[in-house]
Structure formats: structure tokens, C-alpha cells
Amino acid sequence: MLKITDLHASINGTEILKGLSLEIKAGEIHAIMGPNGAGKSTLASVLAGKEDYEVTSGTITFEDQDLLEMSIEERAREGVFLAFQYPVEIPGVSNVNFLKTAINEIREHKGIPALSAKDFLRLVKEKSALVDLDASLASRAVNEGFSGGEKKRNEIFQMAMLEPKLAVLDETDSGLDIDALRIVARGVNTLKSANNATLVITHYQRLLDHIIPDFVHVLYDGKIVKTGGKELALALEEKGYDWIKSAE
Amino acid sequence: MAGYTENELAKDLADKEYQYGFISEIDSDVVPAGLNEQVIHLISAKKNEPAWLLDYRLKAFEVWKTMTEPEWAHVAYQKPDFQAISYYAAPKQTKKFESWDEVDPEMKETMAKLGISLEEQQRLTGVAVDFVMDSVSVGTSFKAKLAELGIIFCSFSEAVQEHPALVKQYLGTVVPTTDNFYAALNSAVFSDGSFCYIPKGVRCPMELSTYFRINAGGTGQFERTLVIADESSYVSYLEGCTAPQRDENQLHAAVVELIALNKAEIKYSTVQNWYPGDKEGKGGIFNFVTKRGLCEAHAKISWTQVETGSAVTWKYPSCILKGDYSVGEFFSVAVTNNYQQADTGTKMIHLGKHTKSTIISKGISAGHSQNSYRGLVQIHKQADHARNFSQCDSLLMGSICGAHTFPYIECKNASAQIEHEATTSKIGEDQLFYCQQRGISEEKAISLIVNGYCKEVLNQLPMEFAVEAQKLLSISLEGSVG
């Protein structure tokens, strides 16, 4: 589904990703771990198409298409979803209106007629239950006045609504208490299917107790330096990132 | 996709052409340019006015001659040459229409381009439209139905002929001829406008709507509007404006007076989309308007405006809260683009006890434009327990526009409670990215964000108008994505 080959990317002239390669197949959950500054969030931003980052070399193919040639919204419509580390607030725009616009833009792109108000509301009800999101949050302005946990749950709610092929969770666990963590993990696990894939970016191992990855990659200094199964995450937790740094 | 910066957005906004730029070829009956007593006599005679009104005009003219143009606003423009303006233009077709079919087809077409087919509006929306084109009303609908309730809704000229006592009693009582330069000018030369009277205890069953439109080249438009809501009555009044594209600047100096007697309520909504000039700042309407309402006891006046047009706007819809427990509200969205300049806001004059006012102002600046909020909250000595809440927000698009806030507060009563909040923000790249990451195009994202930002004000507009205002905001931002 996703194939990244020898990716180099920089911001303001500073190279952050220095030859990253990664392949993700449908049905898989991958975790990327690494110390601060390793390039984890840069990878998420480059996948989503954020324009502050410049890809200097390397390729990314997504579903046999050149992802780097696609605009931000095209990537989203083709099924790339980013759960933001810091979801922004959009005052005055209700969550429901925001999602309805998004869903119908995606449907238009796919040549499917717009969702009726009735079907849309049914979907909202169904999916918000998945992450215990209070129905009132759906009608409030996007992320405005949401607690940290509510914002993260709202990201997963949006993911459930948009049904992406590839979901990238950028440090979704940061700032979550254990209950919220469980709710988020349950949402992600429920949405998992043979046709979609998830890339979990995290600093800590604890999220991986709840979302069991098929592969764990260690990102260090812009490259993947180690790949293994879920036991790698436990080893990292135990030995710390210095273990990777000294092993290099 | 290439990186899209705010500068590019600003450029794209500048490239957007004015959509309502067309000129109707209707024969106009134009008075030669220039302003003197003869011209005023001529206007008054053409309109077959009573002597007291001619006298009113002449007195205003005398006052105007002694006045100078105000210069305190944060706007810069070439002052109009008042001797180069023609002060009266009426469509030549002056006979009254028995039915809608008799109206000049080209005039109908003009209205159709504005998207306000009268038939359509009459049939579908139940809105009574008093369509003003170059100063003479051409279609007043639903009159019969309103008449049953004793409501008077007609052109100002007609009111002068049919209801002279009411006009004489209230004209100039809220905005005196001596008020300011442009109000004095208007009082001397006003051509037509709208008049509305709601009798005691009557709730007007429909939104009353007037579309103003400046058409003949080189004619100033001097509208005069007078709305009187008698005790315990209610009326919602809509005013919409678009003007065709022209190269020379055109002057618009209207006066609107609202009178809300005891326990009456007037809701006055405006969507203004006059030609703002081209992207070099050439042409466009000068919009120098005096709007003011007077509230008697327990009365309420609510001004809502969505201002997207005009080259220069100088406008402060205000409330004089004379009666105890009266309420004044001001909700405003002002969008400026290219070289547009807007200096707009409100005055809330608290005279009565327990009077209350609310001000919500949302400014959006793009291009090279300058957008200023200027507001006065004045609490007089005897106004015990007066309350005011003001919120002024500015949204900037690009880095070469300006947003300014000039709040004035004068409080002479210690029991008053006054709150003022102000924010300035830019359309966030982060907000745009977030929307796009969910599959929403940049253009739709900007429209969403801007409409969200203006929501508190748009929510105040009657339904039909809110839809139109949202469309206008979107049109203003159309083509803003490359």
C-alpha cells in the first residue's frame, strides 16, 4: 500500500529525514518509535504533504501512485489520514459541518453522490459511540474548547467517519490519561481491517500495549535503524533510546 | 502541488473581478451637474414637494455650505468635486405600473442579474421588495397586504405625497441636518428612498426589503430612509445594495433614521456589495452614510451589516438609547480587499436608565486594504446601571493589509458596566492544512473558516439574507486559490 524509498526531506535547509525506507502492506499495523528530534513528526507531515517540508530525494508510492505529486487534499481523498499531534481549533465551524464538507468532497472525488443529511447523522451517531465522544461535541466548533483528550478522541472520530486506507497517528498518545488511551486504542483496533493499514508514531511504548503492532521500527537521526516485532518496543522501553544510539 | 502562500492568496484575491459589473441602458432623466439653490428648487419641483420640504432642503443646503468634510476617519481618497456631480437621475419611465408585466424588460434584467427576480421573491419568499433604481422606486409589492394591517411601506417621495404629516413629524429628528457634512448634503438633495410606518401593536408579518442600486454614470445617490415603529410594534427591514462597474468614483451619501417608540423593536439588516474599485484601486463607490436609530423606553434597535463593497466606507449605524430599559445592538462583518478602505463601527449613546448595548464587529482585510473599527460607547450621567459589551475581531489575509481598532468609551456614571474585547488573527496555515488533510479544497477551507469567523453576525441575519451574505463572502474569496 505504501512504499517509501530512500526518502530525504528538509525544513528551512536543515535535513531531517536522511534516507528513510519503509513498506506497509494492507492489513498491517506499523509503529515508529524514536527519541525526540529523530524525524517522527517530519515523516507524518511529509506523508500528509505539509508544504514547509521539502523532499530533496527519494520516492513515496501509495496504492501505485506517486504520492509526492499529489496535493494535500488529493492525498486525503485517496485515503491518507493524519491524526494530528496538535489538532487545531476552527472557531465557528461545527464539527458536523466540517466533517460533512470533508466527506462530500471525498465522495465527489470518488464520483459517489453526496451523503444525505439523514445518513450522515446516522453515521455520526454510530462513529461517535466508537470513541465515547459526547454527541454535543459533534455539534460544537471544531476542537474549540475541547480538552486534550477530547481533541485526540475527535481525531479518531474523524478517522472513523472518513474511513481512510492509511491512517497515520502522530503521537496520538501524548497527553492522554490511561482511560482516554484505552478509548483511542479501542477505536483504532475496531477500525482495523484487511484493507487498511495504520502507522502509529509514538515516543512511548505504552500505546503499543493497546494497539498491537505487526512491526516496530526505530527511527533515529532521520533513518530507520532497527526493525522488529512488538518485543522491540518492550526492549526499547526497558533499555531506553541510548541503547540504539550506542549500538549504532 | 506548489506551496501556496498567503501572499499568493492575497494576489489571487486581488485578481478577482467584480461580478456585478454591468451597466443598464435605461434612459435617465438627469439634472445637469452642480449644486446650487436652483438645483434644489428643481429637484423639489420635479418631485412635486410641499413648501415645508423645499424649505427643509434649502436650510440644510445653507448649513452644508458652512461645513467641511470630516477628515478624522482612517481613510485617504480624492475628495469628490461636489459641483461635478449630478444630483438627480430618475429613470425616464415614470408612470406607475399597473402590473409587473409593464416594467421595462431591461430593468427586469438588471434585477435578474442581481439575483432578485421580484416575481420569484414575491412568490417564493414572501418578501416585499421596494426596488430603488437611481433614486425612484419602481416596484412596491405586497402593499395591499401590508395596508390591511395599517403598515405603510412605500418610496419616500410617495410618503411625502400620501403621508406628509408623519414625514414632517419625524424627518430629521434622529439625524438633524446639522449633524455632519454628508447628512447635511443628503438633507439638501435627497432624491428618494424608503418610508416605513408600523402602527401600534402590529407585528410586521414579513421582512421588508429594499434593494438599492446606483445606475446612471456620474450621479450621486442620496437615499433617505425613515422607519417608524410605533409603540409595541415590530419590524424587520432588509437593505441590499449592488452597483455596476464604473471607472469614476461615485458618491453615495445616504441617511437612515429609525424611530422605535415605547416597547417597539426594529431589526435593520444590510448587505452592501457596491463596486469596490478595480485591483489598482481605480473607481468604486464612496459610501458615506449616516445611520442612526432612536429608542424610547423598553424599545430595541438592532443593526446587522455585511459590508463587502465600496472603495471607501464611512459608516457608523448608531443607537440613541433614550428611554429607560432600551436596547441597542450592532453586528457587523466588514470585508476589505485590494485598495478598499473601511472605517466603520457604531455609536451607542446611553441616556436612559438600565439601557443595554451589544457590539460585535468582525473585520476581514485582504490585499492592500485598510479596515478600521471605530466605536463610541457613551454613558451619560443619568444613565444608571447602563451596560455595554463590545467585541471587535480582525482577521488578516496576507501581510500588506491593515486592521485597526479605535474604541472610544466615555462614561459619566459609576454604576455602568462596560466590557471590551478585541482580537486580531491571521487565517492560519495550520487551519488550512488541517482542512485540506481532511480532503477539503483550499478554496472551500477558506470559505469555511471565514464563515465560521463571521458566524455570530451571520446568525443575526434573516434566513434569505444569511444565505446571500454567505454567498457574497464566498464570491469575495472566489478564485483565491491558484
- Which grid coordinates belong to A101? 464538507
Beta bridge partners of B356: B327, B387
- Which grid coordinates belong to B235? 419590524
Say if the Cβ atoms of B430 and A51 lie within 8 Å: no
> Is the pLDDT higher at B429 or at A74?
A74
Chain A and chain B share a number of CB contacts under 8 A equal to 80
At CB < 8 Å, which residues of chain A contact B?
A: 48-51, 70-77, 81-82, 84, 87-88, 90-93, 97-99, 101-103, 105-106, 109, 141, 158, 162
Q: Which chain A residues are Cβ-neighbours of B449 within 8 angstroms? A: 90, 93
Extended beta strands in B249-283, E state: 249-252, 255-260, 265-273
Interface probe with A: pick from B331, B393, B436, most Cβ of A within 10 Å? B436
Cβ–Cβ under 8 Å, residues B287 and B322: no
Closest residue on chain A to B454 (Cα) = A92
b (16+ CB within 10 A) / e for B315-332: bbbbbbbbbbbbbbbbbb
Q: What is the pLDDT of residues B196-229, one digit of tens each?
A: 999 999 999 888 876 544 444 444 578 899 999 9
Q: What is the mean pLDDT of chain A?
A: 91
Q: What is the pLDDT of residues A149-202, one digit of tens each?
A: 889 999 999 999 999 999 999 998 888 888 888 988 998 999 999 999 999 999
Q: For chain B, which residues score pLDDT lower than 50?
A: 1-6, 9-10, 12-14, 92-97, 110, 116-117, 119-128, 134-140, 212-219, 245, 247, 479-482
How far apart (Å, rounded) are the C-alpha atoms in residues A175 and B403?
A: 37
pLDDT at residue B102, as a whole number: 57
pLDDT at residue B84, as a whole number: 78
Say if the Cβ atoms of A90 and B448 lie within 8 Å: yes
Mean pLDDT over A88-109 rounds to: 93
3-state DSSP assignment of residue A185: helix
pLDDT at residue B3, as a whole number: 42
| CATH annotation of A2-90+152-247 | 3.40.50.300
Question: Residue B461: CA atoms inside 13 Å, Cβ hemisphere, count?
Answer: 25
pLDDT at residue B21, as a whole number: 53
Closest approach of A223 to chain B, Cα-based (Å): 25
pLDDT at residue B226, as a whole number: 94
How far apart (Å, rounded) are the C-alpha atoms in residues A60 and B291?
A: 60
Rounded (5°) CA angle B398-B403-B408: 170
Q: Does the model's pTM come out above 0.90?
A: no
What residue spans define the domains of chain A? 2-90+152-247
Cβ–Cβ under 8 Å, residues B321 and B388: no
- B128-133 vs B136-140, strand pairing mode: antiparallel
**Alpha-carbon dihedral of residues A143, A148, A150, A155, nearest 10 degrees?**
70
Q: How far is CA B71 from the centre of its chain?
A: 21
Q: Which of B201, B318, B308 is nearest to B263 (CA)?
A: B201
Say if the Cβ atoms of A90 and B455 lie within 8 Å: no
Q: Which of B214, B323, B358 is nearest to B274 (CA)?
A: B214
Q: Which of B260, B321, B268, B323 is nearest to B291 (CA)?
A: B268
pLDDT at residue B103, as a whole number: 54
